[in-house]
Structure 1
Amino acid sequence: FDVEQQTLPDYEPLPDEILETGSGKNWLDEPFGGEITLMLWEAEQARLVLNSPYPYDQYVEVLKGRLTLMDAEGRSATFGPGDRFVLQKGFMGTWRMTEDYRQLLIVSTEQLNAAEQPADEGPQIGE
């Protein structure tokens, strides 16, 4: 299993209000009975803007390229291949990728569903 080359089932692209520049691809799978969701995301040069609080915690491992995160207060950190971090629920700011980029994300399926499900809609992923 080579996570740098692996793909998972296709998943919906990021909304235009988040993906300010560039383009990206998403793949998603739910191993271990669906308790967690694995996502792969890749982009060429891109900039994501999160103007509202990020809806769930996620573990991120950079597989390729460089990522600079800047929070709403202007604090920044840069990550490269092999770096890992947890993006906490509530984060607001920007993701900037200046070269081809790929990351592995792990999130709670329950938190992901809650973030994507309108109040009047039934269960989604893994249900």
Structure 2
Amino acid sequence: MADIATPAVHSLRLQSSLKIGDGTPTGADNLYTDPAGELSVGYWVSDVTSMPVNYTEDEVCVILEGRVRLTAADGASETYGPGDHFFIPSGFSGTWETLEPIRKLYVIREKLTV
């Protein structure tokens, strides 16, 4: 019987160098990217800001600290805070507003074209 390789479990410990509210607009600590480059997991921080977004990837977010508001191009908006989790599909277009300095855990899947 052939040995089947068991995938390793990857720790998602937050690195202390990634701080919120220190005047840095945004920062990321990508902790894992799969070998194909389609899936990534990590932490992202942002100071108060507002920016247009056009997603080409699917993203799951878990807000750990702070508050953010997402407003779709059609005007629909949702506000999220600590403990909230949400999914942003590829194709979403709108505005990302960081209302309070945030820290989020993200899982991003971007389908690569060959």
Task: Name the TM-score, length of structure 2 as normaliser.
Answer: 0.71
State the Cα distance separating 1:74 from its structure 2 match: 0.4
Structure richer in helix, relative to its length: 1
Aligned: 1:40 with 2:43: yes
8 Å CA contact 2:12, 2:42 repeated in 1: no
Structure 1 residues 58 and 40: CA distance shift in structure 2, 3 A? same
State the Cα distance separating 1:55 from its structure 2 match: 0.6
**Separation of aligned partners in 1, 2:97 and 2:34:** 32
Instruction: Pick from 49, 53, 60 the counterpart of residue 52 of structure 2.
Output: 49
Structure richer in strand, relative to its length: 2
What whole-Å deviation, never above 9, does each CA across 1:49-94 have from its counterpart, x for those lacking one? 12xx411101100010001000000000000000001100000001
Structure 2: which 5+ residue stretches go unaligned? 1-10, 19-23
State the Cα distance separating 1:48 from its structure 2 match: 2.0
Indicate the residue corresponding to 2:83 in structure 1: 82
CA RMSD across the alignment: 3.0
Q: In the comparison of the two structures, how many residue pairs are matched?
A: 98
State the Cα distance separating 1:44 from its structure 2 match: 1.3
Secondary structure at the counterpart of residue 100 of structure 2:
coil
Structure 1 residues 32 and 90: CA distance shift in structure 2, 3 A? closer
Structure 1: which 5+ residue stretches go unaligned? 11-21, 120-127
Indicate the residue corresponding to 2:28 in structure 1: 26
Sequence identity percentage: 26
Relative contact order, higher structure (CA 8 A, sep 6+): 2
Return the index of the structure with the highest Cα Rg: 2
Misfit runs of 4+, over 4 Å: 31-35
State the Cα distance separating 1:101 from its structure 2 match: 0.7
Structure 1 residues 66 and 88: CA distance shift in structure 2, 3 A? same
Indicate the residue corresponding to 1:13 in structure 2: none
Indicate the residue corresponding to 1:7 in structure 2: 15
Write out aligned runs for 1:96-111 (5 A). Answer: 96-108=97-109, 111=110
